[in-house]
Amino acid sequence: MTRIVFTFLFMLAGVVAHAQDLLTKSSGEELQVKVLEITPTEVRYKRTDNPDGPLITVRRADVFMIRYANGTKELLGGASALPSTPPAGSSSTTAPKTGTVPGDEESMYEDVQLNGPRLGFTLLSGGIATKADREYGVNPFLTQFGWQFETRIFRLQNGTSGLLELVPLIGGLEQGKFLPSLNALIGIRGPKGFEFGLGPNVSPAGASIALAVGTSFRSQGINFPVNFAVVPGNGGARFSLLFGFNSRHR
């Protein structure tokens, strides 16, 4: 009997853990919460990662949208709740359109642009370091300065996001050199900020593939990404550590 009771409690806890709402602020910040009350001027909720914590109140004007655990969403700019699936018995939307192909359906998530500066350093190894010294007179340790153009293509309810990043960089300025490079990455970011990406890299050393991993920290609406990237080729590799900050581009 005791085992049955504990099993039931664990199952109940699992159901409660998944019953969470997604609150999107006007600034673009997204929070996993349990919405408790919406008034004409305020939204009150508790964080799902701290259900016994304090009741949090924000201005309704600062909240862009709420997506509830049952799949409905509510735009707080005056729009009413919009179900993501048609109501039972609705004759106008019970059957898919003839000839519908992926992409014809309404998008669930808007694109989000995050732009900001990036800086760091690159370490050359093996044949790449030898070539850089011979052809460009460059030491194997280079500084990097550039800009990050990030587009968030989608975001799932569990917080996982699909990303497209374009990062142009200029290296070697501390040595009086101008060594441009361009990285185009397709990646995934987890709900806790961990991310990885893969894509082409073009530089004076030639074209190759860049593999990057990292994470992002958020404070007061500003993101602080930190990424480590590896670009193999020509008997060696380039190892780069980049960091910076960005914010939502309006």
Q: pTM for this structure?
A: 0.57
pLDDT at 79 (0 to 100) = 40
Domains of the chain: 18-82 (2.30.30), 112-249 (2.40.160)
The DSSP line for the chain is: -HHHHHHHHHHHHHHHHH--EEEEETTS-EEEEEEEEE-SSEEEEEETT-TTS--EEEEGGGEEEEE-TTS-EEETTTPPEE-SSPPTT-SSSSSPPTT--TT-SPPSS--EEEEEEEEEEEEEEHHHHHHIIIII---SEEEEEEEEEEEEEEE-TTS-EEEEEEEEEEE-GGGT--EEEEEEEEEEE-TTS-EEEEEEEEETTEEEEEEEEEEEEEETTEEEEEEEEEEEETTEEEEEEEEE-BEEE-
pLDDT score, position 231: 94
Summarize pLDDT for 68-78 with one digit per residue, the tens: 888 788 888 53
Task: Judge whether residue 95 has pLDDT over 60.
Answer: no
Q: What is the mean pLDDT of residues 88-115?
A: 54
pLDDT of res. 159: 77
Q: pLDDT tens, 5-51? A: 455 445 544 444 446 888 888 877 888 899 998 888 888 999 888 88
